[in-house]
Chain A
Amino acid sequence: MSGSHQAGATVKARAELALNDEFLRKAVKFTTERLRNGKKKASEEHGNWDEWRERGKQIRLHTIAHLDYYLNLFVDNARANGVHVHFANTAEEAVKLTLDIAEHANAKSVVKSKSMVTEELHLNHALESIGVEAIETDLGEYIIQLAGEMPSHIVIPAIHKNRYQIAELLSKEAGYTLPPDTTALAGFVRKKLREKFLEADIGMTGCNFAIAETGSMVLFENEGNARMVSTVPKTQITLMGMERIIPSWEDLEVMATLLPRSATGQKLTMYMSGITGPRRAEDADGPDEMHIIIVDNGRSLQLGDPEFQELLNCIRCGACLNACPVYRHIGGHAYGSTYSGPIGAVLTPSLNKNIAEWDDVANASSLCGACYEACPVKIPLHDMLVYLRRRKVESGNGSKLESIGMQGFATVMGNSSRLGGVLRLGKLGQKLVVRSGVIRTKLGPLKGWNTYRVTPSLPKESFRDRFDTLDQELKQGLKQMDPAMQSRMEQLVQQRKNNGDSGKGGHGHG
């Protein structure tokens, strides 16, 4: 773990750094807006988007609810295809297995395509520690690898860098000055990495989906590097989260409909590859030897937990990052972990069961629900953030000060006459600070709020003070209700009774 995200110890401190980095904010806003609009356009053009989302959710729910069956089926089939399958409960085990394979392959270098799991395991450093060069080949990943950073977006890893910064990084690598021109920069990387692909002993990939019924793994990508990595080197190692399973190729149509549209607004990524085992004996390319390492690393903690099991439905499209107003302002590094944005804010603490060590990243959300609305498999991330906060409080790891404040809240709000008393006190107290109807002081508890706003003052009368007078006035000469209106209301009340007094009032979908 290295890079700028280390600069602050808390999400608040890291966010502050990001908020003061004008360039970063502009870059992240620009790209997320573009991606967000792309998704909107693509989903509208495709049509019936909510039905597809619902289908995607049902497929994921079904698979995860029967994961013991489907994962086992996948493993048996993959093995029958000639794949060497391995299991890792922890990150350490996954790293150990990978290094063991690399050593037995006498590997000098590994070419990698984009994989969030390998980021999670910090695999590159582990490989380097045994003298194996690990080369990221996705353009964005290659850039941040040269910069010694972590990805700040799960789909666009170098979203926080501009072409001038990138030209500088690549020029250093080239040994001569490259112009800050996108085509020239990409051209340099193509040439440079071509050699690496042809030399490498091992190709390493992640896995977007694994098809249980045929033991195949599926990769979505645009550059062609994932195809390179799984075609050219002699050995292929695939690291996959244990939850990546879908039952069939038929189900892949739904995922292929949701994933690219949600991620980048594409109808399909330029390449979608289904790989079923190592090369056949007569094939002249493809890996001779193929390993799949199935990684738990905290994922099974969500299984059987009704509040968090749906997290395993995530297809890693990044739409929640693009939709999130907080992510847009602070960027990915402020989240301080491999996964950023709303999904990261929930996933990171969920993968780590030590509640006491949870950062306050779950607090870095206004709970606006944009993530849920954007999610192609309808994961209620905004609700999960609240559950995380509750778990932290209930385990006794909440903030002491806040806890005292909340007890005060309960005392006042638990009884309307105490609330009335507090309002009267407030009206007295505010006399010291109200100027032209508002409060501007930056002292005390209003500092944070009043750094960006003014606080309204309390009016002479609260609503509860005023209601009786108002009610008296209106009751005089209240006109008769329209009979049609009345009967509609009566009908609604009747309907509700028939439904056993449950259901939603307005046509809510939450």
Chain B
Amino acid sequence: MKVSLFITCLSDAIYPRVGEAMVRLLAKYGISMQFPTVQTCCGQPAFNSGYWKEARESAKTILDAFEDSDFVISPSGSCTGMIHHYPKLFENEPVMLKRAKALESKSYEFTQFLVQVLGVTDVGAAFPHKVTYHPSCHGSRILGVKDEPLALMKQVKGLELVPLPFAEDCCGFGGTFAVKMADISGAMVTEKADHVLETEAEVLVGLDMACLMNIAGNLRYRNEPVRVMHLAELLYEGVKEA
């Protein structure tokens, strides 16, 4: 059984600790994750900006990387969501289209894989902190990942989950949107961070490092000490603590 890690360029370059937490957690269940190094980026920045030719260049590395994998797991609902767009991206190239559909059918966001495939909700973690959760838009809306992270957090000993007001509102990242429409994006992330602060949580957790980088960047800019983590990190840290 070949279970592969689709690290996503952001976690690869900036947050390797998230990939490490995933690999270590799955090892607990006897899964040795593969890491095909030819993968780069899912192509979403180019795709969303309308540069589909360029997006295809990037997407091809992902299709090549996971050709023989049985399961492709990523720490991002957004990047896995992008794989769901591949059939549209390659709609006019029959050979690539077939590969795109095959990849879509075996791609999972991390918590989807844990809960839906492995059937795990209790990883045996303890995390005695006040935590709030931001459900990222693409994970929850495109992939429908809504219950899985909550089920996992519910089983973590000592974890107090505080609801985030207006949780389902976008944090304002949106890839190149944050650069092209910097002021609108800035207003959105400021509001999101305000909501996080309202909860008085010590930790903000999520399933997508892009959104978390955005919110953390604003919190840090305001010198707010809220810790920002991917759920995989939280779970792994909790397993070590337990």
Q: Chain B contacts of A414 at CB under 8 A? A: 40, 57-58, 60-61
Q: Give a binary string over B33-71; 1 marks a CB under 8 Å from any A CB, 0 the rest.
A: 001011111010111111111110110110000000011
Interface presence of B31 (CB below 8 A) = yes
Q: Can you give 23 contacting A-B residue pairs, CB < 8 Å?
A: A12-B180, A19-B187, A325-B169, A366-B172, A367-B174, A393-B50, A407-B54, A410-B53, A413-B57, A414-B58, A451-B183, A452-B186, A464-B35, A471-B32, A474-B23, A480-B30, A482-B30, A485-B119, A504-B84, A504-B105, A505-B112, A507-B116, A508-B144
Q: Give a binary string over A400-412; 1 marks a CB under 8 Å from any B CB, 0 the rest.
A: 0011001101111
Interface presence of A182 (CB below 8 A) = no
Q: Give a binary string over A369-397; 1 marks a CB under 8 Å from any B CB, 0 the rest.
A: 11011000000000000101111111000
Q: Chain B contacts of A389 at CB under 8 A? A: 48-50
Inter-chain contact B14/A458, CB cutoff 8 Å: yes
Per the 8 Å Cβ criterion, residues 467-510 of A in contact with B are: 467, 470-471, 474-475, 478-482, 484-486, 488-490, 492-493, 496, 499, 501-510
Quick one: closest A residue to B16, CB to CB? A463
Q: Chain B contacts of A403 at CB under 8 A? A: 51
Given A448-B179, A502-B102, A506-B116, CB of A485 within 8 Å of CB of B144 = no
Interface presence of A351 (CB below 8 A) = no
Per the 8 Å Cβ criterion, residues 204-231 of B in contact with A are: 213-214, 216-218, 220-221
Q: Chain B contacts of A502 at CB under 8 A? A: 101-102, 104-105
Centre residue among B11, B81, B183 by max chain A CB count within 10 A: B183
Complex: A411 Cα to B40 Cα, angstroms: 11
Inter-chain contact B117/A369, CB cutoff 8 Å: no
Q: Chain B contacts of A490 at CB under 8 A? A: 1
Inter-chain contact A329/B27, CB cutoff 8 Å: no
Report the 4 A-B pairs with minimum CB-CB distance, sorted nearest first. Answer: A366-B174, A448-B182, A453-B217, A389-B50
Interface presence of A364 (CB below 8 A) = yes
Inter-chain contact A453/B145, CB cutoff 8 Å: no
Inter-chain contact A363/B145, CB cutoff 8 Å: no
Interface presence of A3 (CB below 8 A) = no
- Select B179's contact among A449, A465, A466, beta carbons within 8 Å: A449
Complex: A15 Cα to B173 Cα, angstroms: 17
Interface presence of B12 (CB below 8 A) = yes
Complex: A453 Cα to B214 Cα, angstroms: 7
Given A393-B51, A503-B105, CB of A329 within 8 Å of CB of B143 = no
Complex: A484 Cα to B71 Cα, angstroms: 17
Additional pairs, 12, CB under 8 Å, beyond known A12-B181, A484-B119: A360-B180, A366-B175, A398-B50, A406-B46, A410-B58, A438-B220, A450-B221, A462-B12, A501-B105, A505-B108, A506-B113, A506-B145
Per the 8 Å Cβ criterion, residues 126-164 of B in contact with A are: 137-138, 141-145
Q: Chain B contacts of A486 at CB under 8 A? A: 1
Q: Chain B contacts of A451 at CB under 8 A? A: 182-183, 186
Quick one: closest B residue to A461, CB to CB? B16
Inter-chain contact B46/A496, CB cutoff 8 Å: no
How many residues on A have C-beta within 8 angstroms of the other chain's C-beta atoms? Answer: 95
Complex: A120 Cα to B60 Cα, angstroms: 44
- Select A479's contact among B30, B58, B169, B213, beta carbons within 8 Å: B30
Interface presence of B109 (CB below 8 A) = yes
Interface presence of A415 (CB below 8 A) = yes
Q: Chain A contacts of B141 at CB under 8 A? A: 368-370, 372-373, 510
Q: List A residues at the B interface (Cβ < 8 Å).
A: 12, 15-16, 19, 25, 325-326, 329-330, 360, 363-370, 372-373, 386, 388-394, 398, 402-403, 406-407, 409-416, 419, 423, 426, 438, 440, 445, 447-456, 458-459, 461-467, 470-471, 474-475, 478-482, 484-486, 488-490, 492-493, 496, 499, 501-510
Interface presence of B239 (CB below 8 A) = no
Quick one: closest A residue to B3, CB to CB? A489
Complex: A189 Cα to B179 Cα, angstroms: 45
Interface presence of B185 (CB below 8 A) = yes
Inter-chain contact A474/B108, CB cutoff 8 Å: no
- Select A462's contact among B13, B39, B184, B190, beta carbons within 8 Å: B13
Complex: A456 Cα to B48 Cα, angstroms: 23
Complex: A454 Cα to B14 Cα, angstroms: 14
Complex: A427 Cα to B93 Cα, angstroms: 38
Inter-chain contact B184/A329, CB cutoff 8 Å: yes
Cβ distance A390 to chain B, nearest Cβ, rounded Å: 4
Inter-chain contact A466/B16, CB cutoff 8 Å: yes
Cβ distance A505 to chain B, nearest Cβ, rounded Å: 4
Centre residue among A445, A449, A504, A508 by max chain B CB count within 10 A: A508
Q: Chain B contacts of A481 at CB under 8 A? A: 1, 29-31
Complex: A370 Cα to B170 Cα, angstroms: 8
Interface presence of B194 (CB below 8 A) = no
Interface presence of B200 (CB below 8 A) = no
Q: Chain B contacts of A393 at CB under 8 A? A: 49-52
Complex: A463 Cα to B178 Cα, angstroms: 25
- Select A367's contact among B12, B28, B177, beta carbons within 8 Å: B177
Cβ distance B3 to chain A, nearest Cβ, rounded Å: 8
Inter-chain contact B35/A467, CB cutoff 8 Å: yes
Interface presence of B9 (CB below 8 A) = yes
Q: Chain A contacts of B138 at CB under 8 A? A: 368-369
Complex: A453 Cα to B211 Cα, angstroms: 12
Complex: A475 Cα to B57 Cα, angstroms: 33
Inter-chain contact B43/A413, CB cutoff 8 Å: yes
Inter-chain contact B142/A474, CB cutoff 8 Å: no
Inter-chain contact B50/A509, CB cutoff 8 Å: no
Given A386-B48, A410-B53, A496-B105, CB of A456 within 8 Å of CB of B217 = yes
Inter-chain contact B7/A463, CB cutoff 8 Å: yes
Cβ distance A501 to chain B, nearest Cβ, rounded Å: 4
Q: Chain A contacts of B84 at CB under 8 A? A: 504, 508, 510
Quick one: closest B residue to A501, CB to CB? B102
Interface presence of B241 (CB below 8 A) = no
Q: Chain A contacts of B72 at CB under 8 A? A: 505
Q: Chain B contacts of A388 at CB under 8 A? A: 50
Q: Chain A contacts of B19 at CB under 8 A? A: 463, 467
